[in-house]
Structure 1
């Protein structure tokens, strides 16, 4: 990539000055590009030093790749402008990249100082003002550059497919923020950038939850889910699974499962809500997919995931999917306990299991994304503990293990 960037910058050096007399913007853009070019070789060396083996995954490479995409924008602008002036928004973007460049260099200095005076402490003495810098930059006189990025070059550094999806999302965010006035964000990029900038600047802890709650809207979880999967022959229902009282995960004892401990959730008789998706003609099989949704343990539900759960259920050979709606925003181990209760009920062989599913499952596939994946893999360790306890007490337990586990961007490092 470094040789490719050098070649492309050489092209810009020849092209931009030739046109600098046409407009003062050319000279600004040329000067900014030259400053970035001069710093790039050193940053590429830093990037190579920070590689994890052969993986180019660090912030220095991120900057290099963003510059690479920026050159694409400049080249396209020069190619398509003919006798017209260059896009002034590119100059604003180049100024923002210079600020980014300054912070990359300052961060490198801090890292080197920390490395040379390493105290082997868990937390480094990274200056707090480093993380606050961009907030101060945005709050100052540079808001126009930030608005330009949001409005005209949003996600320009990503691949086309990812950029398209995120642009749709940010456009939707802008429209929802001040509806119906914000409808003009559909055609006015400057206004779109202004709205997105204000939304980001004034964002609170409720903002990500508000974005997440969009997936809970009926138009998404019911209308779109049904529309996309129309004719699939699926039926969905809400089921309430009874709690069990034999195996309880306490808050102490290193999380080891224990017997005969009755918490308030058991004594209250609260059942666990689940969503069941299966074909109308219940096929004869012995497999069940037990799904746990993601959402950081604080958001989302089986309903928000139903748009793709329906697609799964219609393409896995008649195997039903039971998605657990575990309690959100609660302390450990409440959510895990609910997942355990649902699993133990599914393998209990009780008549109500066959009544609901049409069979008693012999194979259970655990599946979860993000936080749900963590619940799934942790459930496996709990089931292993139950078996060990029974073996130590010479007790027989008919407890089948999950036949497989599918984790989608699961947070294994939280185990």
Structure 2
């Protein structure tokens, strides 16, 4: 914090102090909080890897001081209010992290349901408190922590999002920082959960699909759509509890309410197969689960790097599962289990489609996709323990490009918006958290009651020793809000493990694979780890 303290001293001694009192006071407060975070940081490290959420907040504070405040003060055009606003946003983040650390060091005698319910309630209030600060961040200093060569890509996407959000008024966002900040704050917190899906639908259109297919042809990649048939023997209980018997042996079928969403003939699972035309099949299948927080279909972003990877995987093929969005969990988990059974049964249709009978399955997931694959591995192991003959092939390895789950100390807005889809109900026209306090409390209690279930929160409620024969590879980023989840999983894992943190990167960097040199390098690092896992 030497740089921040030095800046405060410089400002106090400067003849331009007048009008900067609020900034000086806010920086002094932020500096004190950062000293506390620096002290807390080492407690949460995994082995000798010096990364965790507390350290990341400190680095964000340092970057804003050196990359934004200092250059702004040298310029004649200083938006002092925006500087103070973002500093106050960093103060709010720091205070919340410190409070959480105190609560976890001396946890009160509460049930997991009570803790989770309070977390949701506190998060809603937290965002209400920082709303004005977020507007300053989005309006003037969005993505300040990214390098200039990679910053323009998410900025352009967020600007496009703002422009199409509330036409025609939203067009003001192209010329007004204040309007841009207001719209983005609204879109990332108060908008209906259907809005990001609508945005992704603009990307996933017939023209972009045709372009992606053309690139596959040009690059010698066989790209096929698969409609994988469903199985009906092993069905995940609707409440997220463990599979204990075949569905046909269940006396009480009422708890399988999601069965109507698993129509064996009308609703096959949509997948896309990628394989190199020039390589001899090795027998390996990369089962890929893309991210998107259960609501965004970002397949085109993933295809951009998967298309390159499959040509360098020594004959392995990639099966990208386009799992259902906007359906209640565990419908998406059920889809992965069904695809896994289809692949491992090795029927004639599988051999004809892939060109071989799979000898190894390597699971590769991003964010929410990794959560689904981790939970799938738990469910497949449960089935294997019940009926060993049913599982002829267990996954060889599990690799995460970032990790997203329910219990996140500094829970992100995208996670909050998908809670209804995973644990509660499908909202009609507005976010599930957009309601009066009593109703919100009732909804969060219903959500929290499901959190201790094994297939809802495997880190908390599943015996991970049962699947530690998996080779686990974790990759996170320094500014990923889910970094601490990866650390927690690494601390619990007793099997073979590799864990890497990519500096100066945020969640979803792979989406800018072809647009930013830094994101390209980060994504290629992930590929090297995948090659290690496959070796």
Q: 2:27 matched to 1:34?
A: no
Alignment equivalent of 2:303, drawn from 296, 300, 306: 306
Residues 281/354 of structure 1: CA separation in 2 closer, same or farther (3 Å cut):
farther
Q: CA deviation at 1:232?
A: 0.9
Match of 1:66 among 61, 78, 83: 61
Q: CA 1:76–1:243 in structure 2 vs 1: closer, same or farther (change >3 Å)? A: closer
- Indicate the larger mover: 262-271 or 225-234: 262-271
Alpha carbons of structure 1 residues 179 and 311: separation in structure 2 relative to 1, 3 Å: farther
CA RMSD of aligned residues (A): 4.2
> Structure 1 residues 217, 66: CA separation in 2 closer, same or farther (over 3 Å shift)?
farther
Which residue of the partner structure matches residue 96 of structure 1?
85
Q: 1:233: Cα distance to partner?
A: 0.7
Per the alignment, residue 153 of structure 1 pairs with: 141
Question: Is the contact between residue 274 and residue 302 of structure 1 (CA under 8 Å) also seen in structure 2?
Answer: no
Correspondence for 2:293? 296
Once residues 185 and 328 of structure 2 are traced to their aligned partners in structure 1, the CA distance between those partners, rounded to angstroms, is 35
Aligned to 1:370: 367
User: Which deviations, in whole Å up to 9, do the C-alpha atoms of 1:245-294 show, x marking residues without a partner?
Assistant: 44343447942253362955366564322211223457343122222222
Write the distance in 2 (CA, Å) between the matches of 1:344 and 1:115: 40
Q: Secondary structure of the equivalent of 1:294?
A: coil
Aligned to 1:410: 403
**Structure 1 counterpart of 2:230:** 243
Contact 1:235 1:279 in 2 (8 A): yes
TM-score norm. by structure 1 comes to 0.74
Q: CA deviation at 1:202?
A: 5.9
Alpha-carbon distance in 1 for matches of 2:281, 2:127: 59
Structure 1 residue ranges without an equivalent (≥5)? 21-25
Q: Which structure has the bigger radius of gyration?
A: 1
Unaligned runs of 5+ in 2: 250-258, 408-456, 459-535
Deviation string, structure 1 residues 88-133 (Cα, Å, up to 9, x no partner) = 41x1124425755885798699889989998533557899799547
Question: What is the 5 A alignment of 1:100-249?
Answer: 100=89, 120-121=109-110, 123=114, 132=125, 135=128, 149-160=137-148, 163-177=151-165, 189=177, 192-193=180-181, 195-196=183-184, 199=187, 203-223=191-211, 225-226=212-213, 231-249=218-236
Indicate how the Cα distance of structure 1 residues 28 and 56 shifts in structure 2: closer, same or farther if over 3 A, else same.
farther
User: Residues 4 and 31 of structure 2 are in contact (CA less than 8 Å); yes or no, is this contact kept in structure 1?
Assistant: no
In structure 2, what is the equivalent of residue 23 of structure 1? Answer: none
Deviation of residue 212 (structure 1)? 4.2
Q: CA deviation at 1:183?
A: 6.2
Q: How high is the TM-score relative to the length of structure 2?
A: 0.60
Matched residue, 2:256: none
Task: Indicate the residue corresponding to 2:271 in structure 1.
Answer: 274
User: What is the number of equivalent residue pairs in this alignment?
Assistant: 389
Q: Which has the higher contact order (CA 8 A, sep 6+)?
A: 2
